[in-house]
Amino acid sequence: MLNLIEKPFYFGLGVFAYSKEKIEKFANELAKSGKIDKNDVESFVVEMLERGKDQKSEIRKILKDEIAKVLENMNIAKKTDVVSEESIRRIIKEELAKFLKEKNDMG
């Protein structure tokens, strides 16, 4: 579900759309036009990729937090709230054992 929300959001911010190749092409164009030094192209690419990665991580955290709030408000059971089939079996066995012990103690 998170990916359905993330992709358009990243695209809107421009983070999702930029691959390493696009950033390298952009950096080389900047170097050709003299806006950055040719020796700085590689460090520029690395820095832009790191910034994109950091932004993506931060956006993912924000989205997870917001989705968790929405789900909490919707009162939807979490995985940890649901009793597993194995747990139900264990509880039944324990209760049956208690019942049989009490029955044997009484009779």
Contact 86, 28 (CB under 8 A): no
pTM > 0.85: yes or no: no
pLDDT in tens, 52-97: 888 888 888 998 999 888 888 887 777 777 888 888 899 999 999 9
Question: Do residue 53 and residue 88 come from a single domain?
Answer: no
Are residues 69 and 48 located together in one domain of the fold? yes
**Same domain flag for 12 and 60:** yes
Which phi and psi (to 5°) does residue 6 adopt? -65, -50
Contacts of 1 (CB under 8 A, 6+ apart): 67
Is 11 in the same domain as 48? yes
Domain that holds residue 104: 82-107
Structural domain count of the chain: 2
Same domain, 10 and 55: yes
